[in-house]
Structure 1
Amino acid sequence: MKDIEEVDTSCNAVFSDPPGDELTPLQYFRTMCSDDIIQKLVDQCNLYCTQKTSASLDTNVREIEKYIRINTLAGVVKMLSYRIYWAEATIFSPIADPMPRNRFDKLRNYLHVNDNTKMKQREDPDYDKLFRERPFVEKIKQGFSIIEPEEYHSVDELIMPFKGHSSLKHYVKSKPQKWGINVFARAGDSEIVYDFEIYRGKGTVHNDTGLGISGDIVIRLVEGLPKYKNFKVFTDNRFTSYNLISALKNAFWLLELLDPQDCNLKADSELKKQA
Structure 2
Amino acid sequence: MAASRTIEDIINSDTDNEGDFEGFSSESDISVCSDLSDNDSESESEVDQPRNDEWTKRFTPITVNDFTCESGTKLPDSFDVNSASPLDYFWLLFSMELFVEIARNTNRYAKWRMDQTGTVDPYWTETTPNEIRAFIGMEIIMGINQLPDTMMYWSKNPLIGNAGIQDIMTANRYQKVRQYFHVSDREKEPARGHRDYDRLYKVRPILDHVTVSFLLNYNVGRELAVDEAMIRYSGKLSFRQYMPAKPIKRGIKVWMACDSNSSYLSRFQVYLGRSAVGVEHGLGFNVVSGLTNNIHGTYRHVYFDNFFTSIPLLEHLYENGLYGCGTVRVNRRGFPTELKKPKEIKNRGESMVMQKGDSNLIATVWKDKRLVHHLSTLNQPDDIQPAQRRVGPTVLQLQQPASVKSYNKYMGGVDQHDQLRMNYTVGRNSKKWWRYLFWFLVNCSIVNAFIMYKETSKRPRNKKRYTHIDFRIELAQGLISGYTGRKRKASEIDCIPLVDSQNVSGHINGKLSGPKGRCRYHLKTLGVRRETVYGCTVCRVHLCRDGCHARFHNL
Which TM-score band applies after superposition, normalised by the shorter structure? 0.7 to 0.9
1:193: which partner in 2?
A: 265
Superposition deviation, residue 247 in structure 1: 2.5
Cα distance, 1:183–1:17 mapped onto 2, change above 3 Å: closer
2:324: which partner in 1?
A: 257
1:75: which partner in 2?
A: 143
Question: Which AA in structure 2 matches 1:100?
Answer: T
8 Å Cα contact 1:50/1:57 also seen in 2: no
Q: Give the structure, 1 or 2, with the largest relative contact order (CA under 8 Å, sep 6 or more).
A: 2
Cα distance, 1:167–1:195 mapped onto 2, change above 3 Å: same
Q: Once the two structures are superposed, what CA deviation does each residue of 1:90-112 show, in whole Å capped at 9, x if it has no partner?
A: 21123221111111111101111
2:183: which partner in 1?
A: 113
Tell whether 2:152 aligns with 1:91: no
8 Å Cα contact 1:215/1:240 also seen in 2: yes
8 Å Cα contact 1:45/1:57 also seen in 2: no
Distance 2:246 2:155 in 1: 35
Tell whether 2:127 aligns with 1:59: yes
1:152: which partner in 2?
A: 223
Q: For this pair of structures, how many residues does the alignment match?
A: 252
Cα distance, 1:57–1:221 mapped onto 2, change above 3 Å: farther
SS at match of 2:199: coil
Question: Which AA in structure 1 matches 2:168?
Answer: P
Cα distance, 1:28–1:167 mapped onto 2, change above 3 Å: farther
1:234: which partner in 2?
A: 303
What's the TM-score, normalizing by structure 2? 0.42
Aligned residues: percent identity? Answer: 25
8 Å Cα contact 1:83/1:101 also seen in 2: yes
1:35: which partner in 2?
A: 96
Tell whether 2:89 aligns with 1:21: no
Tell whether 2:201 aligns with 1:131: yes
Cα distance, 1:124–1:248 mapped onto 2, change above 3 Å: farther
Q: Once the two structures are superposed, what CA deviation does each residue of 1:23-52 show, in whole Å capped at 9, x if it has no partner?
A: 532222221210121111011001101111
Distance 1:17 1:181 in 2: 29
Distance 1:107 1:17 in 2: 38
Question: Which AA in structure 2 matches 1:64?
Answer: I
8 Å Cα contact 2:71/2:220 also seen in 1: no
1:270: which partner in 2?
A: none
Distance 1:16 1:216 in 2: 25
SS at match of 2:253: strand
Distance 1:101 1:241 in 2: 53
Superposition deviation, residue 161 in structure 1: 2.1
Distance 2:72 2:133 in 1: 33
Which shows bigger deviation, 92-101 or 119-128?
119-128
8 Å Cα contact 2:224/2:302 also seen in 1: yes
Q: Which stretches in structure 1 are left out of the alignment for 5+ residues?
A: 1-9, 267-275
Counterparts of residues 192-211 of structure 1 (less than 5 Å): 192-202=264-274, 210-211=280-281
Q: Once the two structures are superposed, what CA deviation does each residue of 1:108-147 show, in whole Å capped at 9, x if it has no partner?
A: 0111111233333333354322111111111121221122
Distance 2:127 2:148 in 1: 27
What's the TM-score, normalizing by structure 1? 0.81
Q: Once the two structures are superposed, what CA deviation does each residue of 1:179-202 show, in whole Å capped at 9, x if it has no partner?
A: 321111001121111111111114
Tell whether 2:141 aligns with 1:141: no
8 Å Cα contact 2:98/2:206 also seen in 1: yes
Question: Which AA in structure 2 matches 1:121?
Answer: A
SS at match of 2:156: coil
Distance 2:184 2:305 in 1: 36
8 Å Cα contact 2:71/2:221 also seen in 1: no
8 Å Cα contact 1:171/1:178 also seen in 2: yes
8 Å Cα contact 1:145/1:194 also seen in 2: yes
Alpha-carbon RMSD across the aligned residues, in angstroms, is 2.7
8 Å Cα contact 2:112/2:187 also seen in 1: no
Superposition deviation, residue 203 in structure 1: 5.5
1:7: which partner in 2?
A: none
Tell whether 2:314 aligns with 1:245: yes
Q: Which structure is larger by alpha-carbon Rg, 1 or 2?
A: 2
Distance 2:237 2:152 in 1: 26
Distance 1:218 1:203 in 2: 16
Distance 1:233 1:81 in 2: 43
2:248: which partner in 1?
A: 177
Superposition deviation, residue 165 in structure 1: 4.6
Superposition deviation, residue 88 in structure 1: 1.4
Question: Which AA in structure 1 matches 2:299?
Answer: N
Distance 2:196 2:315 in 1: 31
Q: Once the two structures are superposed, what CA deviation does each residue of 1:52-86 show, in whole Å capped at 9, x if it has no partner?
A: 12578411111000011011111111110111111
Q: Which stretches in structure 2 are left out of the alignment for 5+ residues?
A: 1-64, 326-374, 377-400, 409-555
Cα distance, 1:58–1:178 mapped onto 2, change above 3 Å: same
